[in-house]
Amino acid sequence: MATLRLFAQVREAAGTGSVEVAGATVGDVIAEATVMFGAGFGVLVPTCRVWVNGEPALETDVVVATDEVALLPPVSGG
């Protein structure tokens, strides 16, 4: 299982900042997390950047148990 790291709004929607999630690809991990955390989480996911081990990632990228997938929503501030 890959480690899914969540930040800002997606962290709030999930109620946690980190969770172990099964999946063969980035898309699988995100889909499983959406099932786990529900529709409120799912609507935020398309706005997020996705990174694996500190590098930009695509939904089709393969992940293994030692990988860290991060969902980073857009932030604003001043």
Report the pLDDT value the prediction gives residue 3, as an integer from 0 to 100.
Answer: 97
Report the pLDDT value the prediction gives residue 67, as an integer from 0 to 100.
Answer: 98
Calculate the CA dihedral of residues 43, 2, 20, 44 and round it to 10 degrees. Answer: -10
Question: Rounded CA gap, 9 and 63, in Å?
Answer: 24
Report the pLDDT value the prediction gives residue 73, as an integer from 0 to 100.
Answer: 94
Q: What is the DSSP code (8-state) at residue 25?
A: B
Query: Which residue from 10, 26, 38 is spatially nearest to 69, judged by alpha carbons?
Result: 26
List the chain residues with pLDDT less than 50: none
> What average pLDDT does the structure give for the chain?
95
Domains of the chain (ranges plus CATH)? 2-72 (3.10.20.30)
Report the pLDDT value the prediction gives residue 75, as an integer from 0 to 100.
Answer: 79
